[in-house]
Amino acid sequence: MFRVYHGLAFVLFSFTPDGGGCKAAEKRLKRPDKSKSSWHTSVVPFLMFRFSVIQKDPNTQARLGSMSTAHGPVQTPAFMPVATQGTVKATTPRELREIGAEIILANAYHLSLRPGAELVEQAGGLHRFMGWDGPILTDSGGYQVFSLKELCQVSEEGVRFCSHLDGSAHCLTPETVVRTQERLGVDIAMVLDECVPGLASYSEAARAGALTTRWAERALVAKTSEDQALFGIVQGGTFPDLREQSARALVSLEFPGYAVGGLSVGEDPRLTHQLAAHTVQGLPETRPRYLMGVGTPEQLVRYVALGFDLFDCVLPTRNARNGTLFTHTGKLNIRRAAYANDPRPIEENCGCYTCRHFSRAYLRHLAVAGEILSAQLNTLHNLYFYQRLMRSMREALATGRFATFAHLFFGLPAVEREEVRVWQI
């Protein structure tokens, strides 16, 4: 079948959850004249989404902002705890609110496979399904395509892949990805993109970047929800000129927000920083900028200084389950025998529930014994640490002292810190 918008016919690909894959129902009937059409704008407006820059730091590119969504406001810069399958591991939605999280990230790819977007829609949408009443951003599945490379096949129409759960055949297209996220009812959706490895060649990165742009055009046309914002994703591998081209093409499509993807996928961390710094210059100041999959506390401070507003990473929750805890003096491995009789909290003056009630000795006991409570208490601390860090940066921006905050942050003694002063703010 096809639909006609503003006199233009566009194909809609059928999606068969039972494994039938992608099928083009009709060929595109007419290539639009871009000078006379609305090809570069979404047919459906983004009525419920707004972003404003409140204050800029005079010494860096950092900025304090505010984002309005259908499920409430988000103060930026912000870190999104990762709820891949509709849950932030070992943490309840109530606890997320208590530690200061305003927005979380889920994954449309995983949720479409299990329990299925239709089931979530019937349950009243992802917010009601998981018991979280704040804003939700969903990743489209592009990174999962990259990570499951041996199970997928990329083409112009989309991505054919085999489920990592049961091996069944499926397909993602720009249209089905938009539809899935609309059925989930999230506040911010991401377009389908192709993420190439850090060592990808120039030609491979160029092909993937151009394909991501064409997919982004189709995603805008497929959008039907006025309550949901759709973000474009900049690709281009490790090549500054390709990232510049990708950013320029996506900005011309007038998305309400932009993500930078395909970084921290195997390239040298110094190169990651250089590419992020180069790419963000091509993104409009009036739109939120989201650096995907980042990162460590040090990285968050550096990338806020570059002008990024949104971040996500599994690091605080994954490390917590492995017994690694974040403090202002570095990482702490709570499993170490040195903490067996330590009566102190993880970190003095930390306001999290874990530090207010439990000693390092008890937390080590839980970790060594393999108790479920270990993952819960460790996760609470790590996520609180991340949210407190973001809150501190926002407060510093509001008072015009972000650069001072950043220098003090990196000037503290480093214990087990992986990236001390690799780049100066």
Confidence of residue 149 (pLDDT cuts 50, 70, 90): confident
What per-residue confidence (pLDDT) applies to 34?
Answer: 36
Peptide bond into 343 cis (omega under 30): no
* pTM metric for this prediction: 0.88
Percent of the chain with pLDDT over 70: 86
Confidence of residue 148 (pLDDT cuts 50, 70, 90): confident
Q: Does residue 312 carry a pLDDT above 90?
A: yes
300 residue type, one letter = L
Q: What is the mean pLDDT of the chain?
A: 88
Q: Considering only 21-35, 226-240, 278-292, which range has the smallest mean pLDDT? A: 21-35
CATH of 50-314, one of 3.40.80.10, 3.40.50.720, 3.30.1360.40, 3.20.20.105: 3.20.20.105
Over residues 52-67, mean pLDDT: 98
Q: How far apart are CA 47 and CA 35, in angstroms?
A: 25
Q: Does residue 30 carry a pLDDT above 80?
A: no
What per-residue confidence (pLDDT) applies to 18?
Answer: 36
Confidence of residue 22 (pLDDT cuts 50, 70, 90): low
Cα–Cα distance list, 165 to 90, 112, 158, 174, 349 (Å) = 22, 12, 20, 22, 44
Q: Does residue 274 carry a pLDDT above 90?
A: yes
Q: Does residue 8 carry a pLDDT above 90?
A: no
- Who contacts 161 (Cβ-Cβ below 8 Å, separation ≥6)? 145, 148, 151, 152, 153, 169, 170, 171, 172
Q: Does residue 167 carry a pLDDT above 50?
A: yes
Q: How far apart are CA 251 and CA 232, in angstroms?
A: 8
How far does CA 375 lie from the centroid of its chain?
Answer: 23
Q: Considering only 263-272, 318-327, 379-388, which range has the smallest mean pLDDT? A: 263-272
Spatial contact of 157 and 22, defined as CB atoms under 8 Å apart:
yes
Residue range 183-240, pLDDT digits in tens: 999 999 999 999 999 999 999 999 999 999 999 999 999 999 999 999 999 999 999 9
Q: Where are the domains of the chain?
A: 50-314, 320-411
Over residues 286-300, mean pLDDT: 96
Confidence of residue 164 (pLDDT cuts 50, 70, 90): confident
Over residues 253-276, mean pLDDT: 95
Active-site amino acid positions: 139, 312
- Who contacts 226 (Cβ-Cβ below 8 Å, separation ≥6)? 44, 45, 46, 47, 48
